[in-house]
Structure formats: C-alpha cells, structure tokens
C-alpha cells in the first residue's frame, strides 16, 4: 500500500494494546446525569426546562441561540433536579442535572428523518444542526458550521479522519470495525450537504483491519477513497491530514476551507447517520477508558452527562491512587483535578496514569539542538516562540507565527531538555488573541 504522510511529526509509543481488541460495551444506565449547556466551541445554550420537569431520552433541553453553537438533549428519561453552574472538563458551566427514572422513555420527536436520496442538502444540514452534532475527535466544533462555508469558499473534497493518532485511544478504531456502514452513510450525507463528489477516509497503517473494514463498507461508492496513512503523530491533525490526502497546504492563518476541504471525524459521520436514520440526537458516544491506572481498560458506549467517576468504576476502578486523569489522549487531552465531573460529547477517552508515570521531569536549559524545529508539523520554531513567551514578549512570539501552532505537543515530546514548550506557546497564543480582541 502506498502510504500518505506529511513532513515532521513524532513517533510516540502507541499503547493501544490494552483496548484495541475489546469490542464496545454498552455502559450501565446512569442514575443521574449532569448535562452541560456548553459542550462545544461557541456560545452556550439556554435551558428549555426547569427544575421539576419530566424529560425523555432525546428531548431537547438546551436551545442554541447563536450560529456557532448546538442544542443539547437529555440522555436519560427522568426528572430535572437542578440547573446550576458546575465543574465540567472545560471549567465551570451551567448544567442540567437529571435523575433517571429507569423507564428509558424516548421523546416523541425522535423518529427517522428519511433517506439521503430523498432529503435535500439543506434538510440534512438542518437535521445535523438540530441533533446537536459536533466534531467528536475532541475539538467539538459544531458540525453544521463546518458544513456551511461562505459562498466564496469553493469546497470540492471532504476528508474523514480515521487516523486516531493519539496513543492509547481506540474508540474510532472499534467504530470502524463494528459499524463501518454508518460512517460511510454519514459521509455521503455530508457530501450532499456541500455538494462535493470526492471524499477520503484516512486511516493509519497500524490499523490494517480498520482499513479493510472501511474499504469493504465503501465498495460501490467510487467517489469515496479509503487511504492508508503512515503511522505518525499528529497524522490526524486537520492541516496535516489535508496535505497527506491532497498535497494541498492550508495557508498561514487559514482554515481547511481555504484549501477547498472540510475535515470531519469518523465518529461525527456515524452520528450524522444515526440522526438521519433514527432521529436520535447526539446523546452518547464511544469512550476508551485506559492506562495503567485503570484496573480493566475498556471501550464503552457512554451516555453524555455520566460522571467520570462512575465510568471508571465500571472498569474495575482505579489501580491504586491515580497520578493523573486526562480526558482525551496524552498528547492533546485535558488533565483534570477531579473525577466528579460529567462526560461530554467530546469525551473520547479517559486516560489514567500512575503517580510514577505522571511525575514531571525537571526542565533543563535549552541546548539548541533544533529537534523541535525538525519535527514541528506546522513548520514553526517552537524554541524561540517558547523563549519569548517565557519572557512575556508576546508581540515577538507573534512574529514567529505563534498562532499557527496546532498545539499537538510534538515539540515537548521530542525535547531532550524537557522544556515546557507547548505550555508556554499556549500562553503566548492566549495573550496574543486576548490583545487582538481588546483592540477590535
């Protein structure tokens, strides 16, 4: 197979063995969920229910009032017990707490929406928006916004990200093995929305069974090409994936649409298919629970709003005291200081390190080896951006294109001096963006 790739990148250990062969199990029904009204990039939703209301599965409980936002729905049937600001994986957010009644009643609005052939692109886009679908690779950008490029941006290609290049995570891998048809169906629906006739599904070559599975599922659709990608991190990053598949480069400061491409995750496509075929909005997702700090690593289908602590308990609990809890993968995931927070649409993984694994090395002086420059997939000079950030010289950091950093963490991974490169570059980006907002 002719493998596609990009320049730069690193080769962290995969650590996927613990769960890659385990089928997805349906998690236990939660007794109580806390559903955040903001689970995505963009504006928070406004609650449509009040304390004491009875709700059903799939019922819309939060309305999106802005374009860059998506509605949220109840993942259980039961009674609304509380609406309050609570801790979530991304900070304090208003949440709707629902006590499940165990009846699992499905809301009357949940019914099949038709078929791709009979629906217009606009109708499919409205279904995606109303179903609250967001990017499920972790970024959680509203999918209907991605599929609504400005008229002057000509899109001719959609790419589905099946790389799952983050170590440890196997949720997308299992989805591609266990329900590949839903991915292809969802991709065809998205192609109709933006009226394109060419699509790629990119998968790293450390998942040959997934490549075979997706090739079989897409037989009969010559407009869809399943391509093998060289196993390398961050192969699943948007700009790197676009280059690998099309050899097009997204310009500095630009978006994928500037290269005529829209990128989505395979799980997002599957959610689109489910929304069309069954009418069920995005209320559950596959999550990999893994790491040496977990007794029984698994891939679970979890309800949005289930507490992380309860999910871990379904995997035998912690293997000793947890050293670090990360939602997502080890390279781009978010560390959490507590497990008493709810899962969201973006909870692709729960990774638990032991205290020994979590211990941070002592950073040493930069030796100017240039390894961070050699491997940077965005062609930046991380050592200089970091150095200026640490001196609070954000304007100079901006001149070194700090905002083009995709925050993949490859520079921190490769640095022999264990410098806090990614952390300091993130600080620079936030300071630069904050200053730009103030001057608007």
Binding residues are: 366, 369, 372, 376, 405, 408, 411, 415
For the CA atoms of 135, 140, 141, 145, the dihedral, rounded to the nearest 10 degrees, stands at 60
CB 382 within 8 A of CB 369: no
In sequence order, the 6+-apart residues with CB closer than 8 A to the CB of 345 are 39, 40, 132, 134, 136, 140, 282, 285, 304
Distance CA 437, CA 1 (A): 47
CA distances 232 to 3, 5, 92, 375, 391, Å, are 11, 8, 35, 11, 32
CB 407 within 8 A of CB 426: yes
Question: Can you name the residues that pair with 73 across neighbouring β-strands?
Answer: 60
Distance CA 65, CA 14 (A): 41
Helix (H) or strand (E) run with residue 317 in it: none
What are the backbone dihedrals phi and psi of residue 78, each rounded to the nearest 5 degrees, phi first? 165, -150
Classified as helix, coil or strand, 131 is: coil
How do strand 324-327 and strand 334-336 relate by DSSP bridges? antiparallel
Annotated binding site for [4Fe-4S] cluster: 366, 369, 372, 376, 405, 408, 411, 415
- Give the closest residue to 419 by CA, choosing from 379, 377, 373: 373
**Residue-by-residue DSSP string for 3-46:** -B--S--B------TTTTTSPPEEPPPPSEEEEES--SSSPPPE
Note the Cα 201 to chain centre separation in Å: 16
Note the Cα 185 to chain centre separation in Å: 20
């Amino acid at each position: 197979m002719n493998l596609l790739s990009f320049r730069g990148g690193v080769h962290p250990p995969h650590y996927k063995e613990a769960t890659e062969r385990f089928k997805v199990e349906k998690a236990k029904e939660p007794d109580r969920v806390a559903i955040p009204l903001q689970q995505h990039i963009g504006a928070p939703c406004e609650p449509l229910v009040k304390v004491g209301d009875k709700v059903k599965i799939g019922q819309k409980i939060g309305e999106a009032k802005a374009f860059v936002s998506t509605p949220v729905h109840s993942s259980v049937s039961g009674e609304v017990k509380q609406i309050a600001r609570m801790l979530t994986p991304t900070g304090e957010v208003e949440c709707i707490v629902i006590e499940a009644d165990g009846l699992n009643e499905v809301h009357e609005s949940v019914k099949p929406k038709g078929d791709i052939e009979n629906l217009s692109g606009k109708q499919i886009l409205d279904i995606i928006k109303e179903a609250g679908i967001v990017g499920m690779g972790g970024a959680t950008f509203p999918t209907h916004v991605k599929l609504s490029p400005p008229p002057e941006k000509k899109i001719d290609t959609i790419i589905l990200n099946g790389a799952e290049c983050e170590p440890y995570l196997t949720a997308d891998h299992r989805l591609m093995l266990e329900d590949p048809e839903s991915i292809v169906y969802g991709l065809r629906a998205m192609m109709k929305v933006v009226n394109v006739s060419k699509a790629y599904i990119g998968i790293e070559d450390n998942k040959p069974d997934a490549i075979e599975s997706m090739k079989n599922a897409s037989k009969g659709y010559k407009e869809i090409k399943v391509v093998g990608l060289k196993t390398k991190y961050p192969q699943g990053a948007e700009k790197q994936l676009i280059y690998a598949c099309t050899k097009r480069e997204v310009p500095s400061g630009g978006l994928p649409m500037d290269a005529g491409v829209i990128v989505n995750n395979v799980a997002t496509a599957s959610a689109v298919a489910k929304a069309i075929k069954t009418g069920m909005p995005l209320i559950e997702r596959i999550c990999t629970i893994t790491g040496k700090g977990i007794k029984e690593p698994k891939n679970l289908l979890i309800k949005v709003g289930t507490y992380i602590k309860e999910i871990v308990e379904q995997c035998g609990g912690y293997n000793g005291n947890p050293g670090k809890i990360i939602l997502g993968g080890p390279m781009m995931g978010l560390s959490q200081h507590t497990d008493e927070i709810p899962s969201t649409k973006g909870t692709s993984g729960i990774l638990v390190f032991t205290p020994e694994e979590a211990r941070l090395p002592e950073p040493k002086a930069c030796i100017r080896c240039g390894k961070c420059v050699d491997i940077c997939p965005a062609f930046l000079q991380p050592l200089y951006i970091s150095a200026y950030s640490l001196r609070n010289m954000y304007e100079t950091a901006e001149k070194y294109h700090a905002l083009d950093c995709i925050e993949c963490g490859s520079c921190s991974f490769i640095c022999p001096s264990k410098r806090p490169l990614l952390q300091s570059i993130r600080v620079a980006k936030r300071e630069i963006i904050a200053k730009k907002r103030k001057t608007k």
